[in-house]
Structure 1
Amino acid sequence: MRHLAVFVFLFYLLVGVLGAEESFKTVVKTVNGYGTTEKEAINDALIEAIKQVYGVNLEGVSSVSVSHSEVYSTGKYNYSEKSELERTIKERFKGFVQNYQVLDIKREKDGTVKATVRAYVKVYVTPGFSPDTRRKMAIYPFEVEETNLLFPKEKLSQLFTQALITYMTHTRKFTILDRTDKAYFYRELAEVTGVSAHPRELAKLGKRLGADYLLVGKVVSLTKEEKTEGSKELGWYTQKQVLKFAVTYKVIAFATGQVKYSNELTGEVEVKRINYPNLIKAFEEIAQRIEKDVLFAIYPPKVIWVEGNTVYVNYGNKSLSVGDKFTVYKKGKRLRDPYSGEFLEYTQEKIGVLKITETFPKYSIGEVIEGRAEVGAILRPYREKTSSNGGSQNAQSNVEVLPGGGVKLPWDK
Structure 2
Amino acid sequence: MKIVKILFLGLFLSLSLNAKVVTTTSTKLSTGEGSGLTREEAINNAIIEAMSKMNGVNINSLKKSNTQVFTDGLNSKIKDHYSEQISKATKGRADTYEINSVEQDQSGKFIANVTIYKTTTTKKYQVPGLSADSRRSITVFDSTPDPMKRGIGAALQQKIISDLLESRKFNVLDRDSQGYYEMEKALIKSGNAASDEIYKLKNVLATDYILLFSISGLDGKQKTSNLTGKTKAEVEVVVDYRVLLFATRQIKFSNTLSMKVNLKDNTLSTNEAALEQIASRVSGDILNAIYPLKVASVENNEVVFSQTLNQGDIYECFSLGKVIKDAYTKETTGAVETKTGSIEITRTSPKLSYAKITEGSVKVGDVCRPLSNGGSGNGYTIGRDANYKIEEGGGVNLGF
TM range (shorter): 0.5 to 0.7
2:224 counterpart residue number:
229
Q: Deviations over 1:379-403 (max 9, x none)?
A: 122466784269xxxxxxxxxxxxx
Instruction: For 2:121 and 2:136, locate their aligned partners in 1 and report how far apart those are by CA, in whole Å.
Output: 32
Q: Deviations over 1:109-134 (max 9, x none)?
A: 79758643434322101222221211
1:107 counterpart residue number:
84
Shift of 1:209: 0.8
Instruction: For 1:131 and 1:355, locate their aligned partners in 2 and report how far apart those are by CA, in whole Å.
Output: 32
Match 2:359 to one of 354, 366, 370? 370
- 1:196 paired to 2:173: no
- C-alpha contact (below 8 Å) 1:328/1:378 kept by paired residues: yes
1:247 counterpart residue number:
239
1:86 counterpart residue number:
none
The aligned amino acid for 1:261 is F
Could you tell me which runs of 5 or more consecutive residues in structure 1 were left unpaired when the two chains were aligned: 1-14, 33-104, 148-152, 391-413
Could you tell me which runs of 5 or more consecutive residues in structure 2 were left unpaired when the two chains were aligned: 1-11, 30-81, 96-118, 383-400
Structure 2 matches for 1:178-217, cutoff 5 A?
Answer: 178-217=174-213
Q: Please, what TM-score do these two structures have when normalized by structure 2? A: 0.65
User: Are the structure 2 counterparts of residues 217 and 321 from structure 1 closer, same or farther at C-alpha, using a change threshold of 3 Å?
Assistant: closer
Which runs of 4 or more aligned residues in structure 1 lie more than 6 Å from their structure 2 counterparts after TM superposition?
none
Instruction: For 1:251 and 1:110, locate their aligned partners in 2 and report how far apart those are by CA, in whole Å.
Output: 53
- 1:290 paired to 2:279: no
Q: RMSD in angstroms over aligned alpha carbons?
A: 3.1
Partner SS for 1:143: coil
1:130 counterpart residue number:
131
- C-alpha contact (below 8 Å) 2:215/2:237 kept by paired residues: yes
**For structure 1, which segment, 348-357 or 236-245, has the greater mean C-alpha deviation from structure 2 after superposition?**
236-245
- C-alpha contact (below 8 Å) 2:315/2:368 kept by paired residues: yes
Shift of 1:313: 1.9
- C-alpha contact (below 8 Å) 2:258/2:381 kept by paired residues: no
Partner SS for 1:175: strand
Sequence identity percentage: 30
Instruction: For 1:336 and 1:111, locate their aligned partners in 2 and report how far apart those are by CA, in whole Å.
Output: 60
Shift of 1:286: 0.8
Larger Rg: 2
Instruction: For 2:316 and 2:224, locate their aligned partners in 1 and report how far apart those are by CA, in whole Å.
Output: 34
The aligned amino acid for 1:304 is A
The aligned amino acid for 1:249 is Y
1:395 counterpart residue number:
none
User: Are the structure 2 counterparts of residues 364 and 193 from structure 1 closer, same or farther at C-alpha, using a change threshold of 3 Å?
Assistant: same
- C-alpha contact (below 8 Å) 1:144/1:157 kept by paired residues: no
Partner SS for 1:263: strand
- C-alpha contact (below 8 Å) 2:18/2:129 kept by paired residues: no
Q: Please, what TM-score do these two structures have when normalized by structure 1? A: 0.63
